Amino acid sequence: MGDVVIEVENLSKLYRLGTIGTGSLRQDLQRWWTTSVLKQEDPFFQAHGTEALAANKQSILALQNINFKVNQGEVLGIIGSNGSGKSTLLKIISRIVRPTKGAVRGRGSVSSLLEVGTGFHKELTGRENVYISGYILGMSKSEIREKFDEIVAFSGVEAFIDTPVKRYSSGMYVRLAFAVAAHLEPDILIVDEVLAVGDADFQKKCLGKMRETSQTDGRTILFVSHSMQAINNLCDKALWLNQGKMMELGEVSSVVNKYIMGIQQFKLKQEWSTPAEAPGNDFIRFKSVELVPQLSTPDAPLDIRTPLTVKFQFWNMTDDVLLSTSLLLFSYGGECIFDVLSPASRCDKGLVEGECNIPGNFLNDGSYYFSIIVVKDTSVELYNYEECLSVDVEDYRENIQWYGKWWGAVRPKFPFRLHQKEMAFQQ
């Protein structure tokens, strides 16, 4: 650890939206005329400033004033939801796209791994692909030749190395592609979400390899992933981006916790002030739906131990009606996990409120969503508010040596005993 090897200063990236068509040629000529011939300021960029340009919806600011430094040997995790600018940032540091403003400076060689199998061609054999992909990623001929056997062994496709990769299974393809990448030896390695593919064993092998090289060779790694577990395991520091802006930068576990809290607050409540804009129909209009986790401390993560309360309010538009509500929970794949029915209650026009408790130690880790159905006379569906809430439940394990994905849609903590009934061979 020591020297700063990457410095990102005031980095912004603006993308022009819309199709590039006949309009763009005219704009381009106009721009060229004002900047190059009349020597005036660029009418599209400097005149209003990039922020103003983004405001008029002609373009989006994918990154906005990003500043950070990375030291040698550090592993920096970059997190954020889709569209937060993570990939754009990596592409700029990899020299693939240019920033609109600001600068990135660095020391040493850079290799980027933004997809698995860059440069692979399905008609070529495994051997040929190893070479061409190695060259594209910046390896030298002697380097590839030296490591060729190691790469093939790492991938485990020795028997098929002279077969065109189009005949490979997708798993073999990914293994070979990743094996090339895993043997890169740049000073700075940039990795984007490539671990999303491949089986669990292989992923672990790759993470191990990355971790190892950063520790032994002092390699600096920038790593993007949606898996908070991978980020937590691999990284020293983390950077959280949200809609192109820097939210947090610091020690990995604190940034990850803040990120998890941040996205939850965003998703856990929906509210409408007037019935006109609220979701519903002539009978029912929802005023609010809310998911309240009962956290032990305010900054604790929402994990499988956390009890949840679903609260909702709706405007009932008819007098003297027997109402009941159903709360449905779905797994992210769309499978219904439960359908809980409230007792029926006679209601008049006005606001109706409901609440349902889901105990802790019941849901498995993963993403879930809720629907609420309002029913009349315990038989007629008045309104089905589909996918009104969603929640990500984090994993929590204690005294368990196993790190694979826990099976099942739910993970209830039923009373479970195991004890020695009798000793064998004992008289």
Partner 1 sequence: MPESKKGWDWEITSKTSYWGWSMREIWSYRHLLGSLVRRDFLLSYQQTVLGPLWILLQPLLTLVTYVLVFGKLVGVSTGNLPPVLFYFSGIVLWSLFSDSFGGTSNTFRDNAQVFSKVYFPRLIVPLAVTSTQFFRFFIQFVMLLLLIGYYWAFQDLPSPFSLITLAFPFAVICTAGIGLGLGLLFSVITAKYRDIAGTVTLGIRLFMYLTPVIYPLESLPEKYRWMVQLNPLTPLFELNRLSLLGEGTVTAGQLLYSIIFMIVVLSGAMLVFNKQSDKLIDVV
Chain positions contacting partner 1, by CB under 8 A: 7, 9, 15-16, 20, 24-25, 28, 91-108, 110, 112, 114-115, 118-119, 121, 123-124, 128, 131-132, 135-138, 140-141, 164
Q: Which residues contact 76 (CB under 8 A, 6 or more apart)?
A: 70, 220, 221, 222, 223, 235, 236, 237, 238, 239
Task: Tell me whether residue 29 or residue 341 sits nearer to partner 1 (CB atom).
Answer: 29
Closest CA to 270 of 279, 261, 262: 279
Task: Tell me whether residue 104 or residue 347 sits nearer to partner 1 (CB atom).
Answer: 104
Q: How far is the CB of 191 from partner 1 (least distance, A)?
A: 12
- Say how far residue 20 (Cα) sits from the centre of its chain: 30
Task: Tell me whether residue 20 or residue 340 sits nearer to partner 1 (CB atom).
Answer: 20
Q: How far is the CB of 52 from partner 1 (least distance, A)?
A: 17
Helix (H, G, I), strand (E, B) or coil at 220: strand
Task: Tell me whether residue 188 or residue 323 sits nearer to partner 1 (CB atom).
Answer: 188
Helix (H, G, I), strand (E, B) or coil at 330: strand
For tokens 């949606």, what's the residue?
226
**Distance (Å, rounded) from C-alpha 253 to C-alpha 237?**
8
Q: How far is the CB of 134 from partner 1 (least distance, A)?
A: 9
Q: How far is the CB of 84 from partner 1 (least distance, A)?
A: 19
DSSP structure class, residue 280: B
3-state helix, strand, coil in the chain (%, to 5): 30, 35, 35
Q: How far is the CB of 200 from partner 1 (least distance, A)?
A: 25
**Distance (Å, rounded) from C-alpha 76 to C-alpha 69?**
10
Q: How far is the CB of 131 from partner 1 (least distance, A)?
A: 6
**Distance (Å, rounded) from C-alpha 48 to C-alpha 95?**
27
Task: Tell me whether residue 37 or residue 418 sits nearer to partner 1 (CB atom).
Answer: 37
Task: Tell me whether residue 41 or residue 353 sits nearer to partner 1 (CB atom).
Answer: 41
